Structure 1
Amino acid sequence: MSGTWQRFRGWTHDLGRWSRERSDRLWRALEAAMFDRGDAAAREAAAQEAAAEAPVVWLLGRAQAGKSSIASALTGVPIAIGEGFRPVTRTAAVYDFPADAPRIRFLDTRGLGEAGYDPEEDIAWCRARSHLVLAVLRAQDQAPAPLPDLLARIRREQPDTPLVIAQTALHDGYGPDDRHVVPYPFTGTEADDDNPALPLALRRMLARQRSLFVDLPGEAPRFVPIDFTRSEDGLLPSDYGFDALATALIAVADARLAARLAEVRAGAEGSLDRLILWHAGAAAAADAVPVAGLAAVAAVQARMLQALAVRFGVTWTRERLLAFAGTVGTVMLLRQGVLMGLREVVKLVPPVAPWVIPAASLAAFALTYALGRAACVYLRDLAAGRPASEDAIRAAFQMALQEGWTRSGGAARDRS
């Protein structure tokens, strides 16, 4: 009996030491990704793998229609069309979010309505790759050519293309004393035309626009009036109609895109949570890529921490990352280290991989989510100019780790 006990103690000691080493590797990989850019080959492999399977939302509309505001609202990250968008044709560009392991891609076709613009190349490229068309037009735009003809053509060639039309900048139809009607009253149908709570001028604008698309082939598009503004504009809520837009997109999307968009809804109570959830999902996807897992997950986590720092007006340094890591503590990461380490051992063994990869991916989701929530506490203290509360950071990490395991069930269904 004593010999068995000694062997057990020796085994647990070795496992504990190995787990601590594994946790140290996780932090070193994260540090490298934030300050040294880490393993470029691994990041590229993960990004290509994720981009190949990420669903695509095709944004169609004139410049200044509000496409970038919608992409920003959905991702929780400030985005400007042209910034972060990678050209794929002469006037079309794609934005991967997150860039290191995309969960979703936004495809923007620019030039609509511009003199001399021939959309043939863009249409052919985008149509073959998109999973949903999100047309965007300002409420006051009563002659949005060539959008109606373009949508009719897409539907004639692909009648089952899911289509949502966002009618933006509702305040263009407001009088001097008008404000957003709360709670959100729009249905996107003729019922809005007789709603006395809505400004008459706005009702007429929206009805006129709907009439331009009544002859589209296939299922009738869903119209969603929205008004996404800056907080300093004084129109509250600044994401007016966000929930209605997310609901419409989820309703018409295929199962995979709907699952990704549902992640947005899950974090609808705050853009910080949306940002963290997006990156947690991206980390789970990146972790399933053979060999690239650790570096790819670290790259996603690094991008998340950097994005959070921007929100709080704080800059990460190596010293601050080290202090944060020390506060969270490697002991809390031992379970994650064991699970993610086992993944690397058996990931390439086909009979075992189907069970281990999902389990390890859930660990990546939960860990990334917990890191994000704990980082919010740490960065908030830094932004306020006060010493970081180690107890509050640890409590946030532990609570978020448990919540992350619960939420990761949705990520598992997404990948199945």
Structure 2
Amino acid sequence: MSSVWQRWRNKLPQSESEYQQQIDPLRAAAPIPVLWLFGKTGSGKSSVIHSLTGAEQATIGEGFRPETKSSQRFDFPDPVEPLLTFLDTRGLGEADYDPAADIAKYSESTQLMIVTVRVADHALADILQPLRQIRKSTPERPVLLLLTCLHEATGEIDLSEGVDPFATEHPNHESPSPIPDALQTLIDRKTEQFAGLYDQMVPVDLTRLEDGFADPDFGGPRLRQAILQYLPHAYRQALLSLGMEDQGHRSKRQRRARWQVLASSSLAATAGAVPVPWVDIPVVLAIQSHLAMRLGKIYEQELTASHWAALSSAAGSRIATRMALREVLKLIPWVGMAAGAASAFAFTYALGMSWDWYFANLRDGRTPSTDKLREIFADELQRGHELWTAK
């Protein structure tokens, strides 16, 4: 067991660039999901990212970087190991916007297109015309039509106060809130205007707390469910887990750490699905060692020899035993792929969350107990398996 962890420690990437080289082949075989946001400025694209990820608006704004002349890219939580990549087309509404460059660049690299339209916006020619060209170029790529800013058409009525009228299921058989006639008229009009250009329509009202609405994330759960069906399983489960608990009680540092754990777990699951026995172990170990390094940086803790010894003790002998079993299962087609992905996800998640607890204690001046670290690992391992099977 000690020799396994010694090799794991020795494979620690010395830099981000070295780590990128180690996982580039994996990303080429199973790229990170890319969501193409398509809408006018002010139509709610940043609010969509905030609803999906929980990232602060300032972080989102600072995270975009140029991708093409008219588009920008945002990797969440960071470009090194993202869970999701968002592409934002910013040229819409400008007289010289030509979608040809975006079509050429994104037709093969984006898994899902999210078109954001304010429900009360009537000037839609600048969206409809390029969208028709994009849809024609890649008709097999799913398109979600997001109708935003519903409150602009509801007057004094706050739809988020009652039962969601757009939900397919209602708790305790409660009657949904009625949709105001003015809003329904606008929705019907958008349905006609975008006919044939989308696969699913999702009305949402994503507002800020200071706006005073009962639920600032109205429609957010429906949006997440609509997106989840189009994502690879590993990233689907990571995105699903982002919405499974309240992030409000976590500090900014804790949220960054959790995002890193989920990103690494998803990447490890992708590597774990490789159907050739023993091929994925070096990659998964590199991902896990990089995770330890990133968490140490987040908590501003140096990775000393004693820290490595403590971190490696979290899983004890379980790692070697599970790795061997998982690789044997890979000899069974399909069963082995599923087992490898699930195991890699759950183990990486458990290690990451255990190390998160460890580094948080060190930062607060406490000496973490090895026994407690193992206890937390066991609990988080079960949690990792639950996240992988969650629906």
How does the TM-score come out when normalised to structure 1?
A: 0.68
Query: Aligned partners of 2:215 and 2:367: how far apart in 1?
Result: 32
Which amino acid is 1:293 matched to? V
Which amino acid is 1:332 matched to? A
Is 1:92 matched up with 2:77? no
Using the TM superposition, give the Cα deviation of residue 112 of structure 1 relative to its aligned residue in structure 2, in angstroms.
Answer: 0.8
1:371-397 residue CA offsets vs partner (Å, 9 max, x unmatched): 3333454466578x5736636544322
Which amino acid is 2:218 matched to? Y
Is 1:204 matched up with 2:194? no
Name structure 2 gaps, 5 residues minimum: 169-175, 248-254
- Kindly name which structure, 1 or 2, has the bigger radius of gyration based on alpha carbons: 1
Which amino acid is 1:283 matched to? A
Is 1:123 matched up with 2:114? no
Q: How does 1:200-349 map to 2 (within 5 A)?
A: 200=180, 204=182, 207-208=185-186, 210-216=188-194, 218=196, 221-231=199-209, 235-250=213-228, 253=230, 257=232, 260-261=235-236, 263-270=238-245, 271=247, 276-287=261-272, 290=279, 293-294=283-284, 296-298=286-288, 301-302=291-292, 305=295, 309=298, 314-318=299-303, 323=307, 330=313, 332-337=315-320, 339-340=322-323
Which amino acid is 2:220 matched to? F
Checking the alignment, whether the CA contact within 8 Å between 2:73 and 2:86 is kept in structure 1 is yes
Checking the alignment, whether the CA contact within 8 Å between 1:343 and 1:357 is kept in structure 2 is no
Query: Aligned partners of 1:196 and 1:359: how far apart in 2?
Result: 44
Checking the alignment, whether the CA contact within 8 Å between 1:180 and 1:235 is kept in structure 2 is yes
- Match of 1:141, SS? coil
Which amino acid is 2:347 matched to? L
Q: How does 1:6-405 map to 2 (within 5 A)?
A: 19-27=1-9, 29=11, 32=13, 39-51=19-31, 54-78=32-56, 80=60, 83-85=63-65, 87=67, 89-97=68-76, 99-100=79-80, 104-173=84-153, 178=158, 180-186=160-166, 200=180, 204=182, 207-208=185-186, 210-216=188-194, 218=196, 221-231=199-209, 235-250=213-228, 253=230, 257=232, 260-261=235-236, 263-270=238-245, 271=247, 276-287=261-272, 290=279, 293-294=283-284, 296-298=286-288, 301-302=291-292, 305=295, 309=298, 314-318=299-303, 323=307, 330=313, 332-337=315-320, 339-340=322-323, 359-378=339-358, 385=364, 387=366, 390=369, 393-405=373-385
- Match of 1:396, SS? helix
Which amino acid is 2:186 matched to? R
Using the TM superposition, give the Cα deviation of residue 398 of structure 1 relative to its aligned residue in structure 2, in angstroms.
Answer: 1.0
1:299-332 residue CA offsets vs partner (Å, 9 max, x unmatched): 662587379x4xxxx534436x965x55555262
- Match of 2:160, SS? coil
Check 1:284–1:100 CA distance in 2 against 1; reply closer, same or farther (3 A cut): farther
Using the TM superposition, give the Cα deviation of residue 42 of structure 1 relative to its aligned residue in structure 2, in angstroms.
Answer: 0.8
Identity among equivalent pairs (%): 27
Greater helix content: 1
Name structure 1 gaps, 5 residues minimum: 1-18, 189-194, 412-416
- Match of 1:59, SS? strand
Using the TM superposition, give the Cα deviation of residue 113 of structure 1 relative to its aligned residue in structure 2, in angstroms.
Answer: 0.8
Checking the alignment, whether the CA contact within 8 Å between 1:328 and 1:397 is kept in structure 2 is no
- Match of 1:186, SS? coil
Moved more, 280-289 or 333-342: 333-342
- Match of 1:44, SS? helix
- Match of 1:146, SS? helix
Query: Aligned partners of 1:174 and 1:304: how far apart in 2?
Result: 46
Which amino acid is 2:349 matched to? Y
* Cα RMSD (Å): 4.4
Checking the alignment, whether the CA contact within 8 Å between 1:69 and 1:228 is kept in structure 2 is yes
- Match of 1:152, SS? helix
Which amino acid is 1:279 matched to? S
How does the TM-score come out when normalised to structure 2?
A: 0.72
Checking the alignment, whether the CA contact within 8 Å between 1:230 and 1:238 is kept in structure 2 is yes
Check 1:246–1:389 CA distance in 2 against 1; reply closer, same or farther (3 A cut): same
1:152-204 residue CA offsets vs partner (Å, 9 max, x unmatched): 3444455554221112344445667958324433359xxxxxx8656x5xx63
**How many residues matched?**
365
Check 1:212–1:337 CA distance in 2 against 1; reply closer, same or farther (3 A cut): same
- Match of 2:226, SS? helix
Checking the alignment, whether the CA contact within 8 Å between 2:19 and 2:290 is kept in structure 1 is no
